[in-house]
Structure 1
Amino acid sequence: MKTLVIDRFEGTYAICEDKDQKFFAIEVSELPQGAHEGDVLDVNDTEGTININAEATEQRRSKAKKLQDKLFK
């Protein structure tokens, strides 16, 4: 299983980044409904599934929020 983060959307593609800072283009139609920039995706190549990892996404957003609060206060 591979873990990716949605970096941005470009046309019909979601540009995703892995832990090694490699980028992948995934067609938006292949993403789970409701996927947004910053969402963590679990990609299972064997089963051909892509799921949003809500727990990991929330952890990343919380960490970013704490950093923003620290920098701007």
Structure 2
Amino acid sequence: MKLIIDRFEGEYAVVELQDKSMVNIPKKILPAEAGEGDIISIVIDKDETEKRKQEIQKLAEDLWE
């Protein structure tokens, strides 16, 4: 998913989604160098997600031993 930073308002970046709707994202979660007109990509890291699921499963199993 790609987002376009439209502008900044206070502590938020107003970004345009692919469907042309606008949402606010806290500036603190964006890279410091992000600016108006920049394109932001959001991706799902499937490898990291699977790794985290396995870690949580292991912790849950260890609780019951």
Structure 1 or 2, whichever has the larger Rg, is 2
User: Aligned residue pairs: how many?
Assistant: 45
- The aligned residue for residue 38 of structure 2 is 39
The answer to which structure has the higher strand fraction is: 1
How do 1:3-22 and structure 2 match up within 5 A? Answer: 3-22=2-21
SS at match of 2:42: strand
For residue 19 of structure 2, what is the amino acid of its counterpart?
D
- The aligned residue for residue 60 of structure 1 is none
Structure 1 stretches lacking a partner, 5+ long: 48-73
Q: Which has the higher contact order (CA 8 A, sep 6+)?
A: 2
| Per-residue CA distance 1:9-62 (angstroms, 9 max, x = gap) | 000000000121111111000001200000000023x45xxxxxxxxxxxxxxx
Query: CA–CA distance in 2 between the matches of 1:43 and 1:30?
Result: 12
Structure 2 stretches lacking a partner, 5+ long: 46-65
Q: TM-score, normalised by structure 1?
A: 0.56
Query: CA–CA distance in 1 between the matches of 2:42 and 2:31?
Result: 11
